[in-house]
Amino acid sequence: MKQDGRQFDSHGRLRHFLTIEGLPRQTILDILDTAESFIAMGEREIKKVPLLRGKTVVNLFFESSTRTRTTFEIAAKRLSADVININPSLSSTAKGETLLDTVRNLEAMHTDLFVVRHASSGAAYLIAGHVSEHVHIINAGDGRHAHPTQAMLDMFTIRRHKGPFENLRVAIVGDVLHSRVARSEIHALTTLGAAEVRVIAPKTLLPTAVEKLGVHPFTDMRAGLADVDVIMMLRLQRERMTGALIPSEQEYFNLYGLTAEKRAYAKPDVIVMHPGPMNRGLEIDSAVADGPNSVILPQVTNGIAVRMAIMALIMGGTPAAEARRAP
């Protein structure tokens, strides 16, 4: 999927948020800066600002995910939007309605923002190509393609805990081949100029020619973790087990599960990340997930602020400075 600038309107303003690929560095930094202003809000007594009052946000989850849906629902409600949750797999599409008919109908109801999750790569992108000017799209995960808001909250978390990306060596560990999270993280890290991005996985779970994305592949986890500042674990879909891609849960954990012993190969102040939900004892040991280097729960907290920032920016065009004053 080549990026043709569909994310920006004719005035060069961010209109949709579909992918990190091709996004200018400054746009990413604007989002991170805007999110900073929403972080404090989450700790206030009244966690609400009227930025999106009177707007209707539709969570359009063709693929069900309570966790991700909840973060967008909370983010939208804290911006005072009305939120409609729709799980179309259970409704009209079952009645034979096409994806675009569903979208055009919702749009005709004068809704303002669709948060789209879909099992097919490119679904959010397709929708963005067909909606009228006042509608905005956020990609909440499309097939194996992208999960850009997850990558943004990860970047936010890294910047908060480790400072400038130029100095950072980052390892992404696990099923890189099937992971939309990994794909978006790699684009974000390379755009932000991380010193080095490594991917660590068995050969069967690495894309062919992964080096072309600007990363260094490792099949030995200890070698790959050597001296890194950030470890980003990926969730392993248990259904991969049934195929021939990995031998057994136990063997996978032995080779690629993050344990304290393996983590010790990284820098002592390494941060450990995971997009959740975790398979404890499969891709990560509880001692590490709950240990002092883990920033897994801060990722969740940051996810609300980052999603508020993206919603506010694409719908209100709120520049970072303005948003900082807003609350």
Catalytic positions, written as ranges = 67-68, 95, 117, 147
- Which backbone phi and psi does 218 adopt, to 5 degrees? -135, 140
**Residue closer to a copy of itself (CB basis): 19 or 34:** 34
Helix (H, G, I), strand (E, B), or coil: what is residue 151?
Answer: helix
Strand partners, 304: none
User: Running DSSP on this structure, what letter comes out for residue 241?
Assistant: G
* Chosen residue from 22, 122, 217, 298 binding a copy of itself by CB under 8 A: 298
One-letter amino acid of 220: D
Does residue 1 bind a copy of itself (CB under 8 A)?
Answer: no
Sheet harboring 169-173: ordered strands across? Answer: 216-218, 196-200, 169-173, 230-233, 271-273
Residues with Cβ within 8 Å of 99's Cβ and at least 6 positions away in sequence, in order, are: 62, 93, 123, 126, 127
According to CB under 8 A, which residues from 101 to 120 bind a copy of itself? 101-102, 104-106, 108-111
Of 217, 221, 227, which Cα lies nearest the Cα of 285? 221
C-alpha 240/C-alpha 36 separation (Å) is 37
Does residue 304 bind a copy of itself (CB under 8 A)?
Answer: yes
Helix (H, G, I), strand (E, B), or coil: what is residue 127?
Answer: helix
Does residue 239 bind a copy of itself (CB under 8 A)?
Answer: no
| Burial of residue 166, with CB atoms counted within 10 A of its CB: 0-12 exposed, 13-18 middle, 19 or more buried | exposed
Does residue 250 bind a copy of itself (CB under 8 A)?
Answer: no
Q: How far is the CB of 214 from a copy of itself (least distance, A)?
A: 31
CB 321 within 8 A of CB 327: no
Q: How far is the CB of 222 from a copy of itself (least distance, A)?
A: 26
Q: How far is the CB of 126 from a copy of itself (least distance, A)?
A: 16
Does residue 280 bind a copy of itself (CB under 8 A)?
Answer: yes
Does residue 90 bind a copy of itself (CB under 8 A)?
Answer: yes
Does residue 67 bind a copy of itself (CB under 8 A)?
Answer: yes
Q: How far is the CB of 147 from a copy of itself (least distance, A)?
A: 15
Site string for a copy of itself, 182-221 (x = CB under 8 A): ----------------------------------------
- Total residues in contact with a copy of itself, by rule CB under 8 A: 54
Select from 20-28, 62-70, 176-184, 203-211 the region that touches a copy of itself (CB under 8 A): 62-70
Select from 19-27, 53-61, 181-189, 240-248 the region that touches a copy of itself (CB under 8 A): 53-61
- Which backbone phi and psi does 197 adopt, to 5 degrees? -120, 125
Burial 178-215 (b: 16+ CB within 10 A, else e): bbbbbbbbbbbbbbbebeebbbbbbeebbbeebeebeb
**Residue closer to a copy of itself (CB basis): 4 or 239:** 239
Q: How far is the CB of 72 from a copy of itself (least distance, A)?
A: 11
**Residue closer to a copy of itself (CB basis): 194 or 236:** 236
Select from 23-31, 86-94, 190-198, 215-223 the region that touches a copy of itself (CB under 8 A): 86-94
C-alpha 304/C-alpha 71 separation (Å) is 6
C-alpha 204/C-alpha 67 separation (Å) is 29
C-alpha 170/C-alpha 254 separation (Å) is 21
**Residue closer to a copy of itself (CB basis): 94 or 244:** 94
One-letter amino acid of 85: N
Q: How far is the CB of 74 from a copy of itself (least distance, A)?
A: 5
Binding stretches for a copy of itself (CB under 8 A): 42-48, 53-56, 64-67, 70-71, 73-74, 77-78, 82, 84, 86-88, 90-92, 95-98, 101-102, 104-106, 108-111, 238, 276-280, 297-298, 300-301, 303-304
